[in-house]
Amino acid sequence: MKAKTSFTIRDIAGAAGVSPATVSLVLNGKGEISGLTRARVLEAAARLNYVPRLVKARPEATGTIRFLKIAKHGHTVNRDHSVFVSDYIDGMSAEATRRGYALEVVSHEGQGMTAVADMIAVAPVSGIIALGTEMSESDIRVLQGVGRPIVFIDTFYDVVEANFVNMNNEDAVHQVMARLRQQGFSRIGFVASHVETTNFQLRQHAFHRNAARLGLTIDPAHIISVESTFDGAHIDTVKALSEGLALADAYFCTNDVIAYGFIKALREFGIRIPEDVGVIGFDNLPLGATMEPALTTIDVSKRKIGNLAVTLLDDLINAAEPQRPVKILVGASLVARASDRGPADPRPAPRAVRRRGVVPAA
- Specify whether the CB–CB gap between 76 and 134 falls below 8 A: yes
Q: 147 lies in a domain?
A: yes
pLDDT in tens, the chain (362 residues): 445 556 778 888 888 888 887 877 777 666 667 767 776 777 777 677 665 443 333 344 449 999 999 999 988 888 777 788 889 999 999 999 999 999 999 999 999 999 999 999 999 999 999 999 999 999 999 999 999 999 999 999 999 999 999 999 999 999 999 999 999 999 999 999 999 999 999 999 999 999 999 999 999 999 999 999 999 999 999 999 999 999 999 999 999 999 999 999 999 999 999 999 999 999 999 999 999 999 999 999 999 999 999 999 999 999 988 899 999 999 999 999 999 987 654 454 445 554 444 443 33
- pLDDT at residue 28, as a whole number: 66
Q: What is the spatial distance between Cα 150 and Cα 269, in angstroms, rounded to a whole number?
A: 48
CATH classification at residue 49: 1.10.260.40
Could you write out the DSSP letters of every residue in 1-24? -PPP----HHHHHHHHTS-HHHHH
Q: 344 lies in a domain?
A: no
Q: 292 lies in a domain?
A: yes
Q: 360 lies in a domain?
A: no
- pLDDT at residue 362, as a whole number: 37
Q: At 192, phi and psi to the nearest 5?
A: -90, 180
- DSSP category for residue 175: H
Could you write out the DSSP letters of every residue in 148-215? S-EEEES---TTS-S-EEEE-HHHHHHHHHHHHHHTT--SEEEEEE-S--HHHHHHHHHHHHHHHHTT
- pLDDT at residue 355, as a whole number: 43
Q: 354 lies in a domain?
A: no
Q: Which domain holds residue 199?
A: 169-299
Q: What is the spatial distance between Cα 136 and Cα 134, in angstroms, rounded to a whole number?
A: 7
User: Based on the domain organization, do 94 and 140 belong to the same domain?
Assistant: yes
Task: Name the domain count of the chain.
Answer: 3
Could you write out the DSSP letters of every residue in 70-93? EESSSSSSSGGGHHHHHHHHHHHH
Q: At 66, phi and psi to the nearest 5?
A: -105, 130
- The answer for residues whose C-beta is within 8 angstroms of residue 46's C-beta and 6 or more apart is none
Q: What is the spatial distance between Cα 266 and Cα 250, in angstroms, rounded to a whole number?
A: 12
Give the chain's radius of gyration (CA, Å). Answer: 24
User: Based on the domain organization, do 267 and 326 belong to the same domain?
Assistant: no
- pLDDT at residue 83, as a whole number: 80
CATH classification at residue 293: 3.40.50.2300
User: Based on the domain organization, do 292 and 174 belong to the same domain?
Assistant: yes
User: Based on the domain organization, do 70 and 148 belong to the same domain?
Assistant: yes
User: Based on the domain organization, do 132 and 68 belong to the same domain?
Assistant: yes
- Specify whether the CB–CB gap between 208 and 218 falls below 8 A: yes
Q: What is the spatial distance between Cα 165 and Cα 312, in angstroms, rounded to a whole number?
A: 9
Q: What is the spatial distance between Cα 210 and Cα 208, in angstroms, rounded to a whole number?
A: 6
Could you write out the DSSP letters of every residue in 176-190? HHHHHHHTT--SEEE
User: Based on the domain organization, do 106 and 174 belong to the same domain?
Assistant: no
Q: 348 lies in a domain?
A: no
Q: 225 lies in a domain?
A: yes
Amino acid identity, position 326: V
Q: What is the dihedral of CA 344, 348, 349, 352, to 10 degrees?
A: -100
User: Based on the domain organization, do 234 and 192 belong to the same domain?
Assistant: yes
Q: 2 lies in a domain?
A: no
- pLDDT at residue 274, as a whole number: 96
Q: CA-CA distances (angstroms) from residue 362 to 72, 276, 312, 342, 354?
A: 44, 14, 56, 21, 12
The whole-angstrom distance between residue 269's C-alpha and the CA centroid of its chain comes to 32
User: Based on the domain organization, do 123 and 223 belong to the same domain?
Assistant: no
User: Based on the domain organization, do 155 and 191 belong to the same domain?
Assistant: no
User: Based on the domain organization, do 214 and 289 belong to the same domain?
Assistant: yes
- pLDDT at residue 106, as a whole number: 94
- pLDDT at residue 53, as a whole number: 40
User: Based on the domain organization, do 236 and 134 belong to the same domain?
Assistant: no
User: Based on the domain organization, do 191 and 267 belong to the same domain?
Assistant: yes
